[in-house]
């Protein structure tokens, strides 16, 4: 056959009826499964080509086709498919006869290279030459279609083969099942399994393994378990591959205990778990936070002489980093080095992400340099972790420099890169730069996601640009991006802080209509806004609504309520809420106590306020300058000047730095209690130290001075 015949435009699935009753030449098992001569087994690509060329030059005796087929088959095993096709052309030019095996080799090469139309052209030639197509030929063609992603054509080809009574085997069917599984056509894959027995090919463990693995990969674990049980009913013995697929699926779906049960079953059936089994278990345990159990399994691996590999260590290191145990993760890296296990980009990425999340940016950047020394190329995930860490530590300039470095290294920033930068810029108040980055994303065909928009909306709300934030929500809807609870919570918080409570409550209704469930953060913003606008009853109603919705109020919820109640003079109700917090095992924080103490002081209950300060100390909650300012102000207003000065001295000794508000209270307190000279000294001392006193302080001093001067005159 000439090469031009192969490359002409044959139909991709030849019509068998066009070849009526061909005079088939039998292809025996020995011709289709040629035993390779041992001398070709371990030869490299260059040596094989050299041997092929020597054969071409050999005239007496003329080499047989089988010798060329051996070399071509060896090159196929080395995956040099293009080379095989090129050498075949040389065979044609030298008029070397091509046989059935040669054609099968060609079909395989064209299929592997994705040139499926040429594979079928060769197949058509096989039929025209009268060869009896072998099951290996059919299987190779099915595999080629599956590799190309043309699953429907693979199914159609299968149906034609069955219709024309060509015999397929378990490899053919399992190849088709595997192709269907890879594109998620799980029901069709199961149908093929069910038709195997009807067509005289009972499914084996491999067929079931492929289907079980497919169901697990698409998170259809219950279907995989059903197939596993069906195997056993049909007396097909599951092997280590079966168990590994199912254990991996169970672990990834969070069903660790069931996976561990299967491991026990393996031991009972004398099926030895391998490194893949343990890797799935260790990864599942680490992802569910059960690090100690995962580490115990590594010890078990060592005891059973199963050597952990880079995947094992990567799972452990990632789990340790995510649980904040960076030092233990770094110990494992040293253990990898001792065991001659090469760290890869996944190892480094987990470490760098863990270090960045724990604020150890310098160490993370050092690891990037180590990666480069070890010839491990950082990828977009590496840079994303670094950029996110830098942004969270307010080192925006360095983060932006890394983006430039990414471009130089031909690493394309993705939506995660931009979202981290935008979040960092928004949190540092650089909203305009963040908006510029969104425009840059659109220019680079990178679609902002819900995280990107939520960061922008939060930044805009915090800077008081609510209308622009609401415009972005409309833009999200236009782009078919659904706002989530974070988006809505940011908007609601912004609206509440700007006093637009009604609009905020309307947004909660929008959330529910969009099937977005408000969370504790949403309610906290609403409750705080209502309390600040003196709508305490409505705020208390929302707390009841939280309980009905099984949303647990937290310390922020109670602190807002307590502050609102105290500011409206309802101290007893506020104290009741503190007791409720204790009953609910919610620990009041410094904000809770400060609000309560301020309320008590303003209502003249200074002793109770001082009791609460002592309670804070017993609970290891350190009062801050805000807490003490309330007490100082109350003491001065109740003419307990010496106690106030003693308290101020005490807090300075404790290392709590007074702020401008503290000094304003001190000056005003001294003036109203007739300690004019002391007030002047403090006032002058502050001016010398460069404090910019507020108008309240100046007014207080001027007013008091004028009043006293007037009294002296009279």
Residue 107 has pLDDT above 80, yes or no: yes
pLDDT given at position 612: 93
Task: List the CATH number of the domain containing 482.
Answer: 1.25.40.10
Q: What is the pLDDT of residues 357-370, one digit of tens each?
A: 999 999 999 999 99
486 falls within a domain: yes
473 falls within a domain: yes
Which pTM was predicted? 0.78
* Burial of 525 per CB tally in 10 Å (0-12, 13-18, 19+): buried
Residue among 627, 647, 638, 636 nearest 604 (CA): 638
Backbone angles phi, psi at 25, to 5 degrees: -95, 120
Q: How many domains does the chain have?
A: 1
Q: State how far the alpha carbon of 376 is from the alpha carbons of 327, 367, 369, 637, in Å.
A: 22, 11, 10, 68
Q: State how far the alpha carbon of 574 is from the alpha carbons of 539, 547, 585, in Å.
A: 13, 19, 17
412 falls within a domain: no
693 falls within a domain: no
pLDDT given at position 37: 46
Q: What is the pLDDT of residues 8-46, one digit of tens each?
A: 333 444 443 333 333 444 444 444 344 444 455 567 888
477 falls within a domain: yes
- Give yes or no for a cis peptide into 61 (omega within 30° of 0): yes
Distance from C-alpha of 460 to C-alpha of 148, rounded to nearest angstrom: 48
Residue among 316, 340, 341 nearest 330 (CA): 316
369 falls within a domain: no
Of the pLDDT bands very low, low, confident and very high (cuts 50, 70, 90), residue 1 is: very low
Q: What is the pLDDT of residues 580-633, one digit of tens each?
A: 999 999 999 999 999 999 999 999 999 999 999 999 999 999 999 999 999 999
Give the list of residues 6+ apart from residue 241 with CB closer than 8 angstroms, or none: 205, 209
Domain limits for position 523:
449-551
Of the pLDDT bands very low, low, confident and very high (cuts 50, 70, 90), residue 697 is: low
Q: Token pair for residue 451?
A: 């995280």
Q: Where do the DSSP E strands lie in 538-645?
A: none
Distance from C-alpha of 240 to C-alpha of 221, rounded to nearest angstrom: 17
Between 388 and 17, whose confidence is greater? 388
426 falls within a domain: no
Residue 276 has pLDDT above 80, yes or no: yes
500 falls within a domain: yes
Of the pLDDT bands very low, low, confident and very high (cuts 50, 70, 90), residue 198 is: confident
* Burial of 163 per CB tally in 10 Å (0-12, 13-18, 19+): exposed
Distance from C-alpha of 461 to C-alpha of 472, rounded to nearest angstrom: 11
pLDDT given at position 689: 76
Contact assessment for residue 540 and residue 524, using Cβ atoms and an 8 Å cutoff: no
pLDDT given at position 693: 65
Q: Where are the alpha helices (DSSP H) in 219-325?
A: 221-233, 240-252, 256-268, 275-287, 291-303, 310-322
Burial 599-610 (b: 16+ CB within 10 A, else e): bbbbeebbebbb
Residue among 539, 534, 571 nearest 553 (CA): 539
């Amino acid at each position: 056959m000439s090469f031009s015949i192969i490359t002409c435009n044959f139909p991709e699935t030849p019509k068998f009826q066009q070849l009526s009753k061909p005079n088939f030449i039998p292809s025996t098992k020995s011709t289709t499964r040629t035993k390779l001569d041992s001398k070709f087994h371990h030869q490299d690509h260059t040596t094989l080509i050299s041997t092929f060329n020597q054969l071409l030059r050999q005239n007496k005796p003329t080499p047989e086709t089988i010798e060329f087929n051996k070399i071509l088959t060896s090159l196929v095993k080395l995956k040099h498919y293009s080379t095989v096709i090129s050498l075949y052309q040389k065979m044609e030019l030298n008029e070397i006869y091509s046989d059935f095996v040669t054609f099968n080799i060609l079909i395989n090469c064209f299929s592997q290279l994705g040139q499926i139309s040429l594979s079928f052209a060769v197949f058509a030639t096989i039929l025209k030459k009268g060869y009896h197509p072998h099951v290996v030929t059919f299987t190779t063609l099915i595999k080629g279609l599956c590799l190309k992603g043309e699953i429907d054509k693979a199914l159609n080809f299968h149906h034609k083969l069955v219709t024309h009574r060509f015999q397929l085997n378990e490899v053919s069917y399992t190849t088709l099942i595997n192709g269907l599984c890879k594109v998620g056509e799980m029901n069709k894959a199961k149908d093929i399994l069910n038709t195997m027995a009807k067509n005289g090919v009972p499914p084996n463990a491999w067929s079931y393994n492929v289907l079980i693995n497919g169901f697990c990969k698409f998170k259809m674990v219950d279907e995989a378990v059903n197939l596993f049980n069906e195997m056993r009913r049909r007396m097909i013995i599951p092997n280590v591959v079966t168990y590994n697929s199912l254990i991996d699926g169970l672990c990834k779906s969070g069903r660790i205990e069931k996976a561990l049960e299967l491991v026990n079953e393996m031991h009972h059936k004398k099926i030895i778990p391998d490194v893949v089994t343990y890797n799935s278990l260790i990864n599942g345990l680490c992802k569910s936070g059960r690090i100690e159990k995962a580490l115990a399994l590594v010890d078990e691996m060592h005891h059973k002489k199963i050597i952990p590999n880079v995947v094992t260590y990567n799972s452990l290191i990632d789990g340790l980093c995510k649980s904040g145990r960076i030092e233990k993760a770094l110990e494992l890296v040293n253990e990898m080095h001792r065991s001659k296990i090469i760290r890869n980009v996944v190892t480094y990425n987990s470490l760098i992400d863990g270090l960045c999340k724990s604020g150890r940016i310098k160490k993370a950047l050092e690891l990037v340099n180590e990666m480069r020394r070890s010839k491990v190329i950082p990828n977009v995930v590496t840079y994303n972790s670094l950029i996110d860490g830098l942004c969270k530590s307010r080192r925006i300039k360095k983060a932006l420099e890394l983006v430039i470095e990414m471009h130089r290294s031909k690493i394309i920033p993705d939506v995660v890169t931009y979202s981290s930068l935008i979040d960092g810029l928004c949190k540092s108040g650089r909203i305009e730069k963040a908006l510029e980055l969104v425009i840059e994303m659109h220019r680079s065909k990178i679609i902002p996601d819900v995280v990107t928009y939520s960061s922008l909306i939060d930044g805009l709300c915090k800077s008081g640009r609510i209308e622009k934030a609401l415009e972005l929500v409309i833009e999200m809807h236009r782009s078919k991006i659904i706002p989530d609870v974070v988006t809505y919570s940011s908007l609601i918080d912004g609206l509440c802080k700007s006093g637009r409570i009604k609009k905020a409550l309307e947004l909660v209704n929008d959330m529910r209509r969009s099937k977005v469930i408000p969370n504790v953060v949403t309610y906290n913003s609403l409750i705080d806004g209502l309390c600040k606008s003196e709508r305490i009853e409505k705020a208390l109603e929302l707390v009841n609504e939280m309980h009905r919705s099984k949303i647990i109020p937290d310390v922020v919820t109670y602190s807002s309520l307590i502050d609102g109640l105290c500011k409206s003079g309802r101290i007893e109700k506020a104290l009741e809420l503190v007791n409720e917090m204790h009953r609910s095992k919610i620990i009041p924080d410094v904000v809770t106590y400060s609000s309560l103490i301020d309320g008590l002081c303003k209502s003249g209950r200074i002793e109770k306020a001082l009791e609460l300060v002592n309670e804070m100390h017993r609970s290891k909650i350190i009062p801050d300058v805000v807490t003490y300012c309330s007490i100082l102000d109350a003491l001065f207003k109740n003419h307990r000047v010496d106690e106030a000065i003693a308290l101020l001295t005490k807090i300075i000794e404790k290392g709590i730095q007074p702020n401008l508000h503290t000094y304003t209270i001190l000056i005003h307190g001294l003036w109203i209690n007739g300690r004019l000279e002391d007030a002047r000294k403090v006032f002058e001392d502050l001016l010398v130290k460069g404090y910019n006193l507020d108008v309240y302080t100046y007014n207080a001093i001027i007013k008091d001075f004028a009043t006293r001067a007037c009294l002296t005159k009279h």
